[in-house]
């Protein structure tokens, strides 16, 4: 599994496999990180916010929050703040495990807040939109 981690203002791509973690940087050669179990490394990497992920401390507007059903990358956002939507309308496309998944509107309403952005890396339960 790959994670993007920002450390001291520099973005690193970290790949975690069973029993090892590899630090990948486009400007430096591959440098193996100390061997740690994947179960121990994953929570550390996942908790570090990346430059592309939605801000964890962002205040959500009032309304129904549409959350990511699975971890993945946001490929496209099909709506804007203030736009009227119908139940079932595709709000965004989420890529997970090389599959494109449609994120539908759970109800008719207005997009009050777009919490995520194109290219963002999201986890299960990450807020994507707020509909009122």
Residue 19 has a pLDDT of 63
User: Are 74 and 35 within one domain?
Assistant: no
Same domain, 6 and 33: yes
User: Both 70 and 43 in a single domain?
Assistant: no
108 and 71: one domain?
Answer: yes
- Residues 75, 119, single domain; the answer is yes
What was the pLDDT predicted at 24?
A: 56
Q: Are residues 73 and 40 in the same domain?
A: no
Res 13: pLDDT: 77
CATH of residue 105: 2.40.50.100
Residue 29 lies in a domain: yes
- Residue 114 belongs to some domain of the structure: yes
Domains of the chain: total: 2
Rounded CA-CA distance 111/65 in Å is 10
Whole-prediction pTM: 0.55
Q: What pLDDT score was predicted for residue 45? A: 47
Residue 121 and residue 78 in one domain: yes
Are residue 42 and residue 73 in the same domain, yes or no?
no
pLDDT of residue 31: 45
Over residues 69-112, the pLDDT tens digits come to: 999 999 999 999 999 999 999 999 999 988 999 999 999 999 99
Residue 18 sits in which domain range? 2-47
What is the length of the chain? 132
Which residue(s) pair with 17 in the sheet? Answer: 20
**Coil, helix or strand at residue 114:** strand
- For residue 2, CA distances in Å to 14, 17, 37, 89, 121 come to 6, 9, 15, 30, 10
Summarize pLDDT for 7-66 with one digit per residue, the tens: 777 877 777 776 665 555 544 444 444 555 555 544 554 444 444 444 444 577 788 999
- Report DSSP state, residue 105: -
């Amino acid at each position: 599994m790959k994670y993007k981690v920002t450390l001291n203002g520099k973005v690193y791509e970290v790949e975690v496999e069973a029993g090892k973690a590899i630090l990948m940087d486009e400007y430096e050669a591959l440098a193996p990180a100390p061997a740690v179990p994947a179960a121990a490394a994953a929570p550390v990497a996942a908790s570090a916010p990346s430059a592309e992920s939605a801000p964890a401390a962002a205040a959500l507007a009032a309304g129904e929050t549409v959350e990511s059903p699975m971890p993945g990358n946001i490929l496209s956002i099909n709506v804007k703040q203030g736009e009227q939507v119908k139940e079932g309308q595709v709000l965004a496309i989420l890529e997970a495990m090389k599959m494109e998944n449609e994120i539908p509107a759970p109800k008719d309403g207005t997009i009050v807040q777009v919490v995520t952005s194109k290219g963002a890396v999201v986890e299960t339960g990450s807020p994507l939109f707020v509909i009122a």
